[in-house]
Amino acid sequence: MAFKTICVDHVGIACADLDAATKIYTEVLGLQVTNREEVKEQGVATVFIPCGETLLELLVDITENNDGPIGKYIAKNGPGIQHIALRVDDIKAAIADMEAAGVKMIDKAPRNGAGNMKIAFIHPKSAGLLLELCQPAETYVD
C-alpha cells in the first residue's frame, strides 16, 4: 500500500434539523461544537462535535428542494449514521490503491469537504457502508 490509514476521523450523522440535533449533543451530552460551516458544493450544512479522539459530524441538507445527498439519504433511510470517515496520509494514493484492488469508488479524485479536508467516497457496495477517505487540506499535495 502506498498510503497509511491513520484513524477514524469522524462519523457523519444525517439530521433533519441541525439545531435540534446539536442541542442533544451539547445540552444533554455536554459536548461542545467546534466548527459550523456550509459546504454549498455538496448541499450541506455541518457541525463538528469532538467526542474523544473522533469527531461527530452532524449534517443537514441545504439544497432548495432537499434533494442533495443528505436529503436523499434521509428520504430513503431517515436520520442516522450516513458515513464513517477514515483519515489517510495520502488520499490520492489511497484512491489509486482502492481502484487497483477492485474497490468501487464514488470519487475518482479528491474533492473539497467540510473541515478543510480533501475527501473521496468508497461506494457502499464495496465497503458495506458509505466510507469516506479524508486528508487534511494542509497536508495535501496537488
* Domain boundaries 5-139, CATH class: alpha beta
**What is the predicted pLDDT for the residue at 1?**
82
For range 11-32, the mean pLDDT? 97
Burial of 11 (0-12, 13-18, 19+ CB in 10 A): middle
Domain edges within the chain:
5-139
Q: What is the pLDDT of residues 132-141, one digit of tens each?
A: 999 999 999 8
Do 39 and 112 form a contact (C-beta atoms < 8 A)?
A: yes
**What is the predicted pLDDT for the residue at 141?**
87
Confidence of residue 43 (pLDDT cuts 50, 70, 90): very high
Q: pTM to 2 decimals?
A: 0.94
List the grid coordinates of 114.
467540510
Say how far apart CA 142 and CA 124 lie, in whole Å: 27
Confidence of residue 34 (pLDDT cuts 50, 70, 90): very high
Average pLDDT of the chain is: 96
For range 60-79, the mean pLDDT? 96
